[in-house]
Amino acid sequence: MSAWGAGLITAALGAGAIITTGSGVAARGLGVGAVVLGLAALVWGAAVLSAGRLVTPRAALAGSLVSLFAVFALMFAAPARTSIVAVAAASFLLVVVGATTAVHLRRQRRAAAPARTAKPMSVIGLLVAAAFIAVVVTPALGATQNAVLLRDDGTVPVITHEGH
């Protein structure tokens, strides 16, 4: 679940860097990388949920670290159009994914320890995790949109959906 949240925010930050007027080559390049990393996190999260265990933990750990670097780099490449709330939320979720995979890898290295089988997550556990992720991710995505739409005078336009 954390990978899905981090992936959504990372992809949103990347998309914002790509479409923002006045973004330089570095910001757009980081944006493309962030979108790819965000989509990869979404796919990895689905694979983990489907398998019921961590799949490719080394790649996931590397992806978490690269994604963490990418969101921080975006903050410095396009500071006026990158939401600090989104960067903080993505960083938190990426650290959760990275720490989980690091602990998993550490346990795998212990040759003397018996192999653990993962317990399936209960429906209540999934609902709690989904609610927590929604509470973290939804404001971060809103802040990302506001940062991208920010006008030069510091205001954000109100988008109405009349007639829909």
Number of separate domains in the chain:
1
Note down the domain range covering 11: 2-149
pLDDT the model gives residue 141: 84
- Residue 59 located in a structural domain: yes
- Residue 30 located in a structural domain: yes
- Residue 141 located in a structural domain: yes
Mean pLDDT by 10 residues, the chain (164 residues): 92 89 86 95 92 90 96 87 89 94 87 57 79 86 78 70 70
Task: Give the distance, in angstroms, between the CA of residue 128 and the centroid of all CA atoms in the same chain.
Answer: 19
| Token pair of 41 as six digits | 């996190």
- Residue 121 located in a structural domain: yes
Mark out the alpha helices in the chain (DSSP H runs): 2-19, 25-51, 57-77, 84-109, 123-149
| Token pair of 150 as six digits | 């920010």
- Residue 75 located in a structural domain: yes
pLDDT the model gives residue 154: 66
Residue 74 Cα distances to 1, 11, 22, 55, angstroms = 23, 12, 14, 28
- Residue 156 located in a structural domain: no
- Residue 162 located in a structural domain: no
Query: pTM surpassing 0.85?
Result: no
